[in-house]
Amino acid sequence: MNILNRIQGILSPLGHDLSFAGAYLIETLIALIFAVTVVAGMVYFFRKYMARVQNRIGPNRVGKFGVLQVMADGLKLMQKESIFPDGRDDLPYKIAPIIVFLGLILAFIIVPYSNLYWFGSLTVTHSNVGIILIFAILAIMPIGEIFAGISSNNKYAMLGALRAVAKDISFEVPMMLSILAIIMIASVNTSQPLNLQNIVSVQNIPFGILEPIGLFIFFISMIARASYSPFDMGESDSELVTGDTTEYGGLRFGLFYMGLFGTIFLGSMLVSVLYLGGGSGPYESSIGFIWFLIKTIVLVVISLTVWLSMPRVRIDKFVNFGWKILLPLSFINLVITGIIILGGIA
């Protein structure tokens, strides 16, 4: 029994179709609110954590312990004047931040959040091909980055977009191959291995233990997807000003910024779903969501620590790393997965 059915039950006087449509809408809204809250929380947590790492205090003026700092910054960004560069390609320039943020938000409605007491699961779409859907949605986000880069009429932005493209194509193949290994190993115990809920439920042994190489590749891919140091080639702070987002300001910049932090959280959620068993743990049926969040937050902390302690990799070295190390490793991972399946360990 999850939120969807409860809402549908409340709306049932409207008739079957209407009530389901209403329930989906309302639950999507709830998921969106969750996503935005998470992103805002991530920004606050990042700033506080970064301050701790760097011997600083961090935001502490707006609200108790600076918790309202994010809102204050958001309001400031909204009030800012929109400055458009001359000679821009208008439509791509304007929709680029929306694409990035939309791709992020859409992914949040598919992630299999586990149950939480009476509320049930927050997941809106229980698709049988959820894993394909989520990576299709993730593949939308780079389009936003590229649009931003090529439409700004700025050489820095263009170089940033070129770097982002080079980065994207070098990690996405290994990433999808490591996903393939997940699907292979999940298909042993379930007839629908593309369903994210099934992938979570068949992880008696977390896949991260069975496939440590896959976990490694996927985690690196998620760092590169979210595009933060050491793999923030699209942005390349100190070299290309801010890369593809150079010409953006105000709320549009804010959307990119939220996209970045949302993707860190999303990537951590995906790692915990695919490799660490998602919401599985003791008392899974009632507090699975808590387990899921704990795993995710631990991964977020690891990600942020990596971010704060690493310099940027040079783009050609990352491309080499993607094609010459990650790709062979992901094939080896496939072979190992096959051996595990044949050996009957899974």
Partner 1 sequence: METTKPVNKYVELNMGPQHPSTHGVLRLKLLLDGETVKRVEPVIGYLHRNAEKICELDYYCDSLLYFDRMDYVNSLSMEAGFLEAAEKLLGIEPPERAKWIRTIMAELSRIASHLVWAGAYGLDLGMLTPFFYVFDLREQLLNIFTEASGSRLLTNYMSIGGVYQDFNDKIIYMIKDFINSFPKKLEEVFNLFVKNDIFISRTKGIGILEKDVAISYGVTGPMLRGSGVDYDVRKAEPYLMYDKVNFDIPVSYAKDCLGRFLVRYEEMRQSVKIVKQAINKIPDGPYFNPKAKKSLMIRLRGEGEAYGRTESSKGEFGVYLVGDGTVKPYRVRVRSPTFKNLSVLRELGKDVMIADLVAISGSIDLVFGEVDR
Residues that bind partner 1 (CB under 8 A): 50, 53-56, 155-156, 159, 162-163, 229-230, 232, 236-241, 308-317
Q: Least CB distance from residue 208 to partner 1, whole Å?
A: 24
C-beta of 230 vs 250, nearer to partner 1: 230
C-beta of 16 vs 317, nearer to partner 1: 317
Q: What is the C-alpha to C-alpha distance for residues 272 and 208, in angstroms, rounded to an integer? A: 9
Q: What is the C-alpha to C-alpha distance for residues 146 and 74, in angstroms, rounded to an integer? A: 24
Q: Least CB distance from residue 83 to partner 1, whole Å?
A: 16
C-beta of 191 vs 238, nearer to partner 1: 238
123 HSE (CA, 13 A, CB side): 23
C-beta of 159 vs 270, nearer to partner 1: 159
HEC profile of 83-116: CCCCCCCHHHHHHHHHHHHHHHHHHHCCCCCCCC
In this structure, are residues 170 and 319 in contact, taking their beta carbons and an 8 Å threshold?
A: yes
C-beta of 27 vs 247, nearer to partner 1: 247
Q: Least CB distance from residue 240 to partner 1, whole Å?
A: 7
- What is the CA angle 280-221-183, rounded to 5? 50
Residue 326's Cβ-count burial label (10 Å; 0-12, 13-18, 19+) is: buried
**Terminal alpha carbon distance of the chain:** 29
C-beta of 89 vs 237, nearer to partner 1: 237
Which parts of the chain fold into alpha helices (H)? 3-11, 16-53, 69-79, 90-108, 130-138, 141-151, 155-186, 196-201, 207-210, 212-226, 250-274, 284-309, 315-320, 327-343
Does the bond joining 230 to the residue before it have cis omega, within 30 degrees of 0?
Answer: yes
Q: Least CB distance from residue 50 to partner 1, whole Å?
A: 7
C-beta of 156 vs 248, nearer to partner 1: 156
Q: Least CB distance from residue 267 to partner 1, whole Å?
A: 19
Q: Least CB distance from residue 63 to partner 1, whole Å?
A: 24
Phi-psi region of 153 (alpha: psi -120 to 50; beta: other; left: phi over 0): left
Which amino acid would we find at residue 154? N
Q: Least CB distance from residue 103 to partner 1, whole Å?
A: 25
- What is the CA angle 77-83-89, rounded to 5? 120
Q: Least CB distance from residue 246 to partner 1, whole Å?
A: 11
C-beta of 119 vs 253, nearer to partner 1: 253
